[in-house]
Structure 1
Amino acid sequence: MRTNRQTGSKWRASGGLSACATMLAALAASTLLISTAGWAGDADPLRLCADPTNLPFSSDIPSQPGFYLEIGQALSQQIGRPVTYDWYKSYFGKRTVRVTLLGRQCDAMIGLPLSSDFMGPAVIFSKKITTEAYALVSLKTLTLSGIDDLRGKRVAVQYQTTPQNLLAERDDIAKVTVLTPDEGMAALAQGKADVAFVWGPVAGWLNKTAYDGRFQVQPVEGAGLSWDAAIGFARTSTELRDQIDAALPKLEGRIAELAAKYGLPSEPPIKLGAASAPIRLAALGNPIPIVRQSTAAATVTTVAETGASDPKAEVVVLGKEIFNGTCAHCHGPDAVQAERRIDLRRLQTRYGEDMRDKFWTTVHEGRPSKGMPAWKEVFTDDQFESIYAFLLTVQSSETAN
């Protein structure tokens, strides 16, 4: 949607942290000022929105700021302004953009999808800075030029991504489902998979830092598999956008150097066909598009069954949207989750009349020992009410069996 401190991200996790724990790490919202020595005293800072734990893209480690932040530093030199950062976790997706960029906490966000469908027209974009894509990772002795070359092989593929949708149509390919690029790379290194089909930038970074360049990382292209990334601005910041656009051509060589420094895949992409998938926040090192799933193991009342005429339907739909955008990383899309301990369809079975109180306490205060942070500074009580209303629609005693 992590690695090292997240070497790979949100999406992310590594360094021994689980993907869920990393994704739900405490939200950082402080602003860090990079050295302003040598800048004119009246120069306004270039304020960048940045995730503090999203390598290879961004990091609050001064010695290892990440691909995006080093681009930002180079741009600040070009336009003669010092740079500051507004730290905010990128796994909140579009919410991150609304709170930071559109909330005027920062001036620019590097790494957004260059697409008019992404929050337009509220967000405007610079010229393309790079292309990001999923990748096929394998030993260098294996030749891969298309999806047919995966026939008969074990492929570690990220859960609920376009690659998983693509491979689901192939019965002649054995799928090994993983949650993060880190897990996919580990499965490859441990001989549990022959190929990993995972998020390319993180795979490249891991290959460089954790696996000593042992694997080949080949980006792919196709619908929902790759997209161009750019720098996003609020729509009123056309002057700054134009300034940045004028500076970018002078940094082409530097950007290529930084891509190599952080291990971003550079080989020609393999062309694959795939069904379209929703564009997620490109800054997310491990994007996890939401894919609808059904279950035959339990009788669950779905949101659709509330009916359009139900006055509570709108609240339920809003709660479902918030849940899938924030909570589904651990608890499953639409709350469909096979692990009993985090299966929120069992709340009523577990807590009975205390269900509401338990929900309210947990989302407000968190459960730090279990890897869940407090969300009271992120969502309003009305939003919590909508999430609760949605969860009421999916309660099922049969999931407890």
Structure 2
Amino acid sequence: MRPSRPGIDKECRGLRRARACAGILALAATLTGLAGPSRGAEAEPFRLCADPTNLPFSSDDPSQPGLYVEIGQALAQALGQPITYDWYKSYFGKRTVRVTLLGKQCDAMIGLPLSDDFMGPAVIFSRKLGTEGYALVANTNQVIGGIGDLKGKRVAVQFATTPQNLLAERDDIEKVTVLSPDEGMKALDQGKVDVAFIWGPVAGWLNKTTYGGRYRIQTTEGEGLSWDTAVGFAKTSKDLRDRVNAALPQLERTIAELSVKYGLPGDRAIRFTGASAVTRQASDEPAAEKNDGPAQSLHGTVGTGPGVVKVANAAPPEAKADSATARPETVSSGKEIFNGTCAHCHGPDAVQSERRIDLRLLNHRYGDDMRTKFWTTVQEGRPAKGMPAWKDVYTDDQFESIYAFLLTVQSQSND
């Protein structure tokens, strides 16, 4: 018969019956255990946001899951939880984070830029996970110590990235624009360029898996060239963040081994400061950098494209700002949004060497129509050119702040 605890407690009031009671209590616990754990005791899954086709970072192929997925699996095991995945393309950068992580479809996203400027305070971060950035890829007999060593060379640079802007004014360097790290590596392998200045993690992965490790990869750091990464959480998940932080030190060796497995560069980094460069040990702490480039479209994936188009019935609201009257906080907010979402194609702070997508020339091109052109483009997008519509992502006030920022950077050039 199943014992009744009230009866047991009553009997246990007598000290002489203590030993007998202890035996009865143990039997009760055994009988309860035989019934199995309750449904409420089952561990909740660790839900990971990940891109299904973004190696070396993530893949929905179990035979080759990617660096971030394997780190997620190790974290789930350390937390004592099963793991599940929310697969979503990271093409749209912050929009991906809003839909998945902030939309409560998952609990964590690995590899976000470790910066309060990246969607803070809505997104909070774990301790530092690693450092990622652009890299110079060349034959093993070439050692590059800075921009000066690129003089006279043909250099593949990714379209609309910090490396392209960095080399834009160097007439002594022949720039060859490519759309992806893959294209840059192919140009190098085919002898069309001498050096590729491309996204480092993907370059390392391709060098390991496609090119047999025959190229030297030298990572770089500097403004817009490198940044620390971490695990991101919604601001309501501080407890999970703290438990992940407690688990990460135990996984340092595992993460290091996985980084080697997926070809991430681990060399001495070249620091670019204007036209000069210095080197540092890869283990040193890098200076805080602005987070632009591929990190904003998440993990080096190709981002959205440029373009303006006039769309009927998309008239902008009455103007709230111009370059002279816009409130400083409005301009600052617009700059933050711009650098978080638009800089991947249009350059950090709207500095862009490609004239056709240089937003500093909007007023020069469109004059009194500038506002209408801006408004219709950001609202409706230009899908044929790869630019999405942002009307479901940002509010009118946020568009106004972006416009206010762009007004402050318009060029007076008539070239």
Normalised-by-shorter TM-score class: 0.5 to 0.7
1: CA distance, partners of 2:64 / 2:264:
15
Q: Which residue in 2 is equivalent to 1:284?
A: 298
Q: Which residue in 1 is equivalent to 2:172?
A: 172
- The secondary structure found in structure 2 opposite 1:183 is helix
1: CA distance, partners of 2:270 / 2:334:
38
1: CA distance, partners of 2:231 / 2:299:
16
For 1:263, give the aligned amino acid: G
| Structure 1: runs of 5+ lacking an equivalent | 1-38, 294-302, 311-317, 340-344, 346-359, 385-401
Q: Which residue in 1 is equivalent to 2:137?
A: 137
Q: Which residue in 2 is equivalent to 1:156?
A: 156
For 1:229, give the aligned amino acid: T
Q: Which residue in 1 is equivalent to 2:244?
A: 244
Say whether 1:230 aligns with 2:225. Answer: no
Q: Which residue in 2 is equivalent to 1:67?
A: 67
State whether residues 277 and 289 of structure 1, in contact with CA within 8 Å, keep that contact through their aligned partners in structure 2.
no
State whether residues 160 and 288 of structure 1, in contact with CA within 8 Å, keep that contact through their aligned partners in structure 2.
no
State whether residues 43 and 81 of structure 1, in contact with CA within 8 Å, keep that contact through their aligned partners in structure 2.
yes
% identity of equivalent residues: 66
Give how far 1:321 is off.
Answer: 11
Which aligned pairs between 1:210-359 and structure 2 lie closer than 5 A? 210-266=210-266, 268-274=267-273, 278-280=290-292, 281=295, 284-286=298-300
Give how far 1:239 is off.
Answer: 1.1
Which aligned pairs between 1:21-170 and structure 2 lie closer than 5 A? 42-170=42-170
State whether residues 54 and 284 of structure 1, in contact with CA within 8 Å, keep that contact through their aligned partners in structure 2.
no
2: CA distance, partners of 1:277 / 1:290:
22
Give how far 1:205 is off.
Answer: 0.6
Alpha-carbon distance change, 372 to 117 in structure 1, aligned in 2, over 3 angstroms: closer
State whether residues 219 and 268 of structure 2, in contact with CA within 8 Å, keep that contact through their aligned partners in structure 1.
yes
Runs (4+) off by over 3 Å: 274-278, 280-283, 287-293, 303-310, 318-334, 336-339, 366-381
Q: Which has the larger radius of gyration?
A: 2
**Number of equivalences:** 343
What are the Cα deviations for residues 61-115 of structure 1, in whole angstroms up to 9, with x where unaligned? Answer: 1111110010000010001001111111112111111221112111111001111
State whether residues 71 and 255 of structure 2, in contact with CA within 8 Å, keep that contact through their aligned partners in structure 1.
yes
For 1:193, give the aligned amino acid: V
What are the Cα deviations for residues 99-135 of structure 1, in whole angstroms up to 9, with x where unaligned? Answer: 2111211111100111122111221111111110110
2: CA distance, partners of 1:92 / 1:291:
11
State whether residues 225 and 274 of structure 1, in contact with CA within 8 Å, keep that contact through their aligned partners in structure 2.
no
State whether residues 161 and 291 of structure 1, in contact with CA within 8 Å, keep that contact through their aligned partners in structure 2.
no
2: CA distance, partners of 1:171 / 1:379:
39
Give how far 1:270 is off.
Answer: 3.3
Give how far 1:45 is off.
Answer: 0.4
- The secondary structure found in structure 2 opposite 1:73 is helix
2: CA distance, partners of 1:140 / 1:284:
29
Alpha-carbon distance change, 227 to 211 in structure 1, aligned in 2, over 3 angstroms: same
- The secondary structure found in structure 2 opposite 1:98 is helix
Q: TM-score, normalised by structure 1?
A: 0.65
State whether residues 182 and 206 of structure 2, in contact with CA within 8 Å, keep that contact through their aligned partners in structure 1.
yes
Q: TM-score, normalised by structure 2?
A: 0.63
2: CA distance, partners of 1:253 / 1:324:
34
For 1:285, give the aligned amino acid: H
State whether residues 160 and 290 of structure 1, in contact with CA within 8 Å, keep that contact through their aligned partners in structure 2.
no
For 1:123, give the aligned amino acid: V
Q: Which residue in 1 is equivalent to 2:196?
A: 196
For 1:279, give the aligned amino acid: N
Say whether 1:183 aligns with 2:179. Answer: no
2: CA distance, partners of 1:368 / 1:175:
28
Give how far 1:286 is off.
Answer: 2.0
What are the Cα deviations for residues 215-261 of structure 1, in whole angstroms up to 9, with x where unaligned? Answer: 11111111211111000111221111111111111111111111111
Alpha-carbon distance change, 235 to 246 in structure 1, aligned in 2, over 3 angstroms: same
Q: Which residue in 2 is equivalent to 1:398?
A: none
| Structure 2: runs of 5+ lacking an equivalent | 1-38, 275-287, 308-318, 327-332, 357-361, 363-375, 400-415
For 1:270, give the aligned amino acid: A
Give how far 1:151 is off.
Answer: 1.3
State whether residues 162 and 277 of structure 1, in contact with CA within 8 Å, keep that contact through their aligned partners in structure 2.
no
2: CA distance, partners of 1:373 / 1:291:
8
1: CA distance, partners of 2:136 / 2:320:
37
2: CA distance, partners of 1:65 / 1:98:
23
- The secondary structure found in structure 1 opposite 2:135 is strand
1: CA distance, partners of 2:338 / 2:229:
27
Alpha-carbon distance change, 324 to 290 in structure 1, aligned in 2, over 3 angstroms: farther
State whether residues 222 and 289 of structure 2, in contact with CA within 8 Å, keep that contact through their aligned partners in structure 1.
no
What are the Cα deviations for residues 301-338 of structure 1, in whole angstroms up to 9, with x where unaligned? Answer: xx99988899xxxxxxx99999998899899999x999
2: CA distance, partners of 1:192 / 1:109:
38
1: CA distance, partners of 2:135 / 2:195:
10
